[in-house]
């Protein structure tokens, strides 16, 4: 049982300051001048209260790759970044392609206690793209899987993609596609463009992403099913999603924080922290995805948190692994790239980082601060400033592209179902060993 909390002076979604009472893990009252006898008081004057953030695209690595991350360390990182729920991608070992594996991931998240872990199931057996995985069994399991993805691998076979889209309609599921034509990206090392030509690195063309998106929105339209496009990164992809939505296709799309801020110019230093899939794109693409997020073409921000041991990054560029950690920095990067630029307000941030991802993933109880709803709440100091350092990282890996970079803001408090996971900017220890009411 969580403690009774009174949050005073919080600006919910950036609006006027108000008080919030939390009892038994639920928002009990919202208004002015609230109090409860014996309650713990959280002074939130000057802080923005957002519904606990939800990440639709997280790699927790467990089971199988615990040297990179575990469910415990990954959810600690999530809580530090203001997240109350994460969707765990299936590229584990064994692959999350059966009811048994997704239920194991769910149990690990429940034991950790820092955030809700909602497993994503693989579309195909072993993510090999050859035959459909046990989609129905995962959907009816205790994990209640509704999002399926072979992320890391494109579901390249159009017939298998069509069958997957048809299959998930029965339980209101969604196929989340990693849009990458494998033939067009063989040996690719970075975005195809002037920088790749100067550096002599094999280019990753935008059309490799865009051609798969074009095919899949037509397939989704044909079968009348839900499609979600993972980590969209090019201007052309934004145009395709905008076109598909105008046609009434049930398509949603995500953009990562790093694609909202960083460009392929950073590759010039051959620092493998900037090697990612899809690659960092041109400045023109960054501006286009910002515009797409601002006008609603792109539905959500998702981190694509991809931890790797140091030896997988501290090597020559061609041998380095793709991926960046991003849970702890996501809200601060969105603040810098979208809020400080005037493209989004805090209510918009609540939508694209909480309500919309929860809706796409059919995750109940998230996305809103309202009476009677579970108390998943993030209190954010938008006036803070600081350099992002390794001290800000709470996962097992250190491959952040933001180390040494000035970023605005700071997560001061995170509540997960009324349980305080971050207090005064400090991660609460011991939630995984039963210490859920520790101050």
> Mind telling me the catalytic residues?
304
Q: Around 373, how many Cα atoms within 13 Å sit in the side-chain half-sphere? A: 18
Distance between CA 97 and CA 6 in Å, rounded? Answer: 43
SS (HEC) of the chain: CCCCEEEEEEEECCCCEEEEEEECCEEEEEECCCCCCCCEEEECCCCEEEECEEEEEECCCCCCCCCCCCHHHHHHHHHHCCEEEEEECCCCCCCCCCHHHHHHHHHHHHHHCCCEEEECECCEHHHCCCCECCHHHHHHCCCCCCEECCCCCCCCCHHHHHHHHHHHHHHCCEEEECCCCCCCCCCCCEECCHHHHHHCCCEECHHHHHHHHHHHHHHHHHHCCCEEECCCCCHHHHHHHHHHHHCCCCEEEEECHHHHHCCHHHHHHCCHHHCCCCCCCCHHHHHHHHHHHHCCCCCEECCCECCCCHHHCCCCHHHCCCCECCCCCHHHHHHHHHHCCCCCCHHHHHHHHHHHHHHHCCCCCCCCCCCCCECCEEEEEEEEEEECCHHHCCCCCCCCCCCCCEEEEEEEEEEECCEEEEECCEECCCHHHCCCCCC
Distance between CA 202 and CA 346 in Å, rounded? Answer: 40
227 strand-pairing partners: 175, 251
Token pair listed for 310? 């140091």
Closest residue by Cα to residue 218 from 292, 278, 158, 173: 158
């Amino acid at each position: 049982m969580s403690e009774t909390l009174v949050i005073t002076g919080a600006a919910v979604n950036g609006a006027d300051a108000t008080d919030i009472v939390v009892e038994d893990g639920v928002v009990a009252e919202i208004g002015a001048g609230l109090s409860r006898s014996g309650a713990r008081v959280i002074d939130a004057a000057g802080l923005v209260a957002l519904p606990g953030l939800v990440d639709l695209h997280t790699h927790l690595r467990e089971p199988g790759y615990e040297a990179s991350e575990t469910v415990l360390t990954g959810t600690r990182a999530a809580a530090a970044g203001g997240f109350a729920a994460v969707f765990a991608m299936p590229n584990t070992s064994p692959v999350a392609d059966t009811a048994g594996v997704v239920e194991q991931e769910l149990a690990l998240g429940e034991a950790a206690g820092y955030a809700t872990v909602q497993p994503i199931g693989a579309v195909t057996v072993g993510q090999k793209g050859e035959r459909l995985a046990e989609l129905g069994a995962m959907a009816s399991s205790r994990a209640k899987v509704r999002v399926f993805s072979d992320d890391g691998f494109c579901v390249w076979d159009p017939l298998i993609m069509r069958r997957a889209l048809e299959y998930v309609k029965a339980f209101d599921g969604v196929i989340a596609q990693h849009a990458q034509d494998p033939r067009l990206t063989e040996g690719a090392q970075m975005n195809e463009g002037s920088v790749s030509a100067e550096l002599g690195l094999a280019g990753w063309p935008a059309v490799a992403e865009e051609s798969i998106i074009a095919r899949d929105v037509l397939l989704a339209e044909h079968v009348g099913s839900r499609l979600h496009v993972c980590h969209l990164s090019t201007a052309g992809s934004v145009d395709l999603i905008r076109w598909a939505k105008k046609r009434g296709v049930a398509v949603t799309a995500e953009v990562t924080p790093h694609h909202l801020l960083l460009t392929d110019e950073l590759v010039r230093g051959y620092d493998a922290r900037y090697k990612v899939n899809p690659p960092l794109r041109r400045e023109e693409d960054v501006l286009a995805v910002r515009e797409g997020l601002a006008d609603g073409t792109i539905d959500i921000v998702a981190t694509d948190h991809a931890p790797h041991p140091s030896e997988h990054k501290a090597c020559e560029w061609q041998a380095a692994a793709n991926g960046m950690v991003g849970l702890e920095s996501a809200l601060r990067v969105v603040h810098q790239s979208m809020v400080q630029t005037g493209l989004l307000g805090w209510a918009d941030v609540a939508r694209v980082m909480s309500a919309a991802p929860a809706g796409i993933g059919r995750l109940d109880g998230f996305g809103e601060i309202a009476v009677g709803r579970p108390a998943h709440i993030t209190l954010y100091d938008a006036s803070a400033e600081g350099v992002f350092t390794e001290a800000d990282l709470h996962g097992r890996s250190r491959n952040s592209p933001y180390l040494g970079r000035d970023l605005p803001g700071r997560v001061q408090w995170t509540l997960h179902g009324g349980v305080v996971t971050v207090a005064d900017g400090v991660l609460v220890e011991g939630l995984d060993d039963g210490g859920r009411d520790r101050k």
